[in-house]
Amino acid sequence: MSNLQMPSMGLGTFRLSGSQLTQAIHHALDLGFRHIDTAQIYDNEAEVGQAIADSSIKREDIFITTKVWIDNLHPDKFMASVEKSLEKLQTDYVDLLLIHWPSPKDKVAMKDYMTELNNCKFKGMTRAIGVSNFTPQLLEQAFACIGKESIEINQVEVHPYFQNQHLVNYCQTNGVDVVGYMPLGNKQILDDDVLKALATKYDKSVAQIALAWQMQQNIATIPASTSKEHLQENLEASELRLTPEDMAAIAKLDTGQRLIDPEFAPNW
């Protein structure tokens, strides 16, 4: 990745809560994960913060990402919402703060919320800033607001069935690192014959093949796993290298159909 020094493998916490979330974080940190991804809308920042506080790993050794929800984009709410996130996470700063989604129908001007995001960095509330679910056109607007060099990450949907190649290429060409969410395609890819054949070839799981494919394209990945076995497998996927032929075979699986497309999503 860039000078951000973000681990390419992280633990996603979307849809995780309670003891399941706490156990997942403890297992992940014990195994060597040092990247935890959460968001205001996940309603689990406090649990994430407590699990990290209860671990033996120093705060500065853990890369924490959170995201500002669309209801908090207005300048009247933005900074206070981030302060609340830091309070819940029991930390003075996060390593990466993202705009979760662009403001629906430009209800809040991008200049306003990107400026607030940048101000959070100036105030030491986050070490780096970025966006999520931004198209190339929206990224161009964001660059114009606060400067291309300020935006380090775009977190977007990426998996073998939705490879988002145009956006990934655009980001990487413009110096914006990509974090891919939903890397296992909501488990839809696990029964794919091409991926199963590759899993057999390498004596790995289908999930490991998908994660290795993603990281081999310099895309960080944040699968949400809870079992210690699966978490260990995810880490081991970092060591797997697929051949150009394998990568080409996976490239043919792209359906162009995204799984995450809420009514407030931008015009893709």
CATH class entry, domain 11-184+219-224: alpha beta
* pLDDT at site 4: 79
Degrees to nearest 5, angle at CA 260 with 218 and 240: 30
pLDDT tens digits for range 143-180: 999 999 999 999 999 999 999 999 999 999 999 999 99
The domain ranges of the chain are: 11-184+219-224
Average pLDDT, the chain: 97
Residues designated as active site: 42
Residue 192 one-letter amino acid: D
* pLDDT at site 3: 65
Q: What's the whole-number mean pLDDT along residues 201-227?
A: 97
Scanning the chain, the segments in alpha helix (DSSP H) are: 18-31, 45-54, 78-89, 110-122, 136-146, 165-173, 193-202, 206-215, 228-236, 244-251
pLDDT tens digits for range 101-138: 999 999 999 999 999 999 999 999 999 999 999 999 99
Q: What's the whole-number mean pLDDT along residues 208-222?
A: 98
**Three-class SS of residue 108?**
coil
* pLDDT at site 231: 97
- Terminal alpha carbon distance of the chain: 26
> Which pTM was predicted?
0.97
pLDDT tens digits for range 1-32: 446 789 999 999 999 999 999 999 999 999 99
* pLDDT at site 217: 98
Q: Has 27 been labeled as part of a binding site? A: no
Exposed/middle/buried for residue 19 (C-beta within 10 Å: 0-12, 13-18, 19+): exposed
